[in-house]
Structure 1
Amino acid sequence: MIAVAGGKGGSGKTTTTVGLARAFSRRGAPVVAADADWDLPNLAELADETGEPVATPEGGSADGTAERTGRPSVTRVARGERSVPVGRREPVVLDAPDRPREHDAATVLADLDDVVPADTPLLLDCPAGASPDVAAPLRAADRCVLVTPLRRPALRDAAKTAAIARRLDCPPLGVVVTRTRSVPAAVPELFGCPLLGRVPSRPPVPLAAAAVETAYDAAATALVEAHAGGDRWRIA
């Protein structure tokens, strides 16, 4: 389980979670991306808005009420109420629960890790910055990926998040720098981990741009090599 974490909101964590998930799918890997930012969830919405449909089935909840986006939630999959049809063509995206305060995030994420196959990349879109809510996904994950733009406040906040991640035994595998074409050597030195990728800015729909897609392909390749030498996941 890999937590995608960074500084404050707007750093590109959710875009990077979707971008990496789709890059894994393009390499033939089954992949699951789960929303761990339960107060401000937008992972499933971004996945829908940026074009490619995902393989997650539509449907309502067990009591007949519709889920917020029509996707199964992290909680329902973790409890075994919905299966995850992991495939190799598109990532599976899991939404946040409708009533997040009724669930213990640490327990839910640990249960989710148990039901997702060990050879399937599982990406967690984390809450922003160093908020108390980021502790649960960082504790649950094996490692993390840091995401930040090249702005001094954002770099400072991401460095704080990296320090928290290390204290919670979730050391960074590397950093993805967003909205730039070049990254100073001092940036990976700041975080004490390698540069996984640099993602150019292509508003308003960045994931639709070929240059951004290529950047996330390169970042996914670097992530595979950084995590257990590339032998952990089923990637072609």
Structure 2
Amino acid sequence: MAGGKGGSGKTTTTLGLARALSRRGAPVVAADADWDLPNLARLASATADGGEPAARAPTVVDAVRPAGELRPDRRGPTVLSAPDRPGDLDAGRVLGALAEAAPDDSPTLLDCPAGASPDAAAPLRVADRCLLATPLRRAALRDAAKTAALARRLDCPPVGVVAVRAESVPDGVGDLLGCPVLGRVPPADPEPLAAPSVRSAHDDLASRIVDEYGADRWRVA
């Protein structure tokens, strides 16, 4: 999950999509790859339902330690937080180890750092594809286009874009970013993930992602 700037909706969309895929029976892994500004596990805990315990999430490093086994189940996404001491680790090496540890038939979502920085490059090098999340403001779209260009250079082409906090999507967004618009998430405050309209939008997005990319790769209904 990549985006042009902080606040573009990446983390909320990562978690919402992970839960939507889980509702389809997929054993999902969702990992925080934004180690400087990590909030995926915090958001998961704050919005936990019966399928996701609010206990401290394991870190990405915990998941790839030799003594541990990454065994995602179908009751809810396995959410992995950022390392406790990220400055001591090579992000590319850790995320590469995560790719090896995750079962081949499990959707594995990485919540990337914003923009086209070197920090964003590490998860994009590991991922097969990226999904762009962006508001429809001019500056946000411009930055999302830069992120899309970086992803393509790193052999991680965008599978599509999701417009966040959007009432509608004008023609031309897909052409601007060079990939199809796969979803639109409506605005919903103050807790978007609790809104039925947002949940429905993430369910629709999950269906499109499976159809476009994961039908013959993942264990998903």
Task: Give the TM-score taking structure 2 as reference length.
Answer: 0.96
- Seen in structure 2, the aligned counterparts of structure 1 residues 55 and 87 have a Cα distance that, compared at 3 Å, is farther
| 2:119 partner amino acid | D
In structure 2, which of residues 12, 27, 34 is the aligned counterpart of residue 15 of structure 1? 12
Structure-2 residue corresponding to 1:28? 25
In structure 2, which of residues 207, 217, 221 is the aligned counterpart of residue 232 of structure 1? 217
State the identity as a percent. Answer: 62
Aligned runs of 1:5-154 on 2, under 5 Å?
5-52=2-49, 55=52, 58=55, 70-154=56-140
The structural deviation recorded for 1:56 is 6.7
CA contact 1:54–1:92 (8 Å) conserved in 2: no
Structure 1: gaps (5+ residues): 59-69
Matches of 1:180 and 1:71, distance apart in 2: 31
Matches of 2:67 and 2:121, distance apart in 1: 26
Matches of 1:180 and 1:57, distance apart in 2: 30
Deviations 1:85-122 (A, max 9, x none): 41112001000001001110001011001111000000
CA contact 2:64–2:70 (8 Å) conserved in 1: no
Structure-2 residue corresponding to 1:65? none
Matches of 1:208 and 1:105, distance apart in 2: 32
Matches of 2:80 and 2:59, distance apart in 1: 5
The structural deviation recorded for 1:181 is 2.4
Structure 2: gaps (5+ residues): none
The structural deviation recorded for 1:138 is 0.3
Structure-2 residue corresponding to 1:164? 150
Matches of 1:83 and 1:155, distance apart in 2: 39
The structural deviation recorded for 1:84 is 2.9
The structural deviation recorded for 1:72 is 1.1
Helix, strand or coil: the match of 2:48? coil
Deviations 1:15-61 (A, max 9, x none): 00000000001111110000000000000001111232555795xxx
Number of aligned pairs? Answer: 221
CA contact 1:35–1:125 (8 Å) conserved in 2: yes
CA contact 2:166–2:185 (8 Å) conserved in 1: yes
The structural deviation recorded for 1:142 is 0.5
The structural deviation recorded for 1:81 is 4.0
The yes-or-no answer on 1:192 pairing with 2:189 is no
CA RMSD of aligned residues (A): 1.4
Matches of 2:205 and 2:189, distance apart in 1: 20
| 1:222 partner amino acid | R
- Seen in structure 2, the aligned counterparts of structure 1 residues 27 and 190 have a Cα distance that, compared at 3 Å, is same
Aligned runs of 1:192-211 on 2, under 5 Å?
192-211=178-197
Matches of 1:43 and 1:71, distance apart in 2: 10
Helix, strand or coil: the match of 2:17? helix
Matches of 1:96 and 1:173, distance apart in 2: 25
Higher alpha-carbon deviation: 79-88 or 217-226: 79-88
The structural deviation recorded for 1:78 is 1.7
Helix, strand or coil: the match of 1:5? coil
Task: Give the TM-score taking structure 1 as reference length.
Answer: 0.90
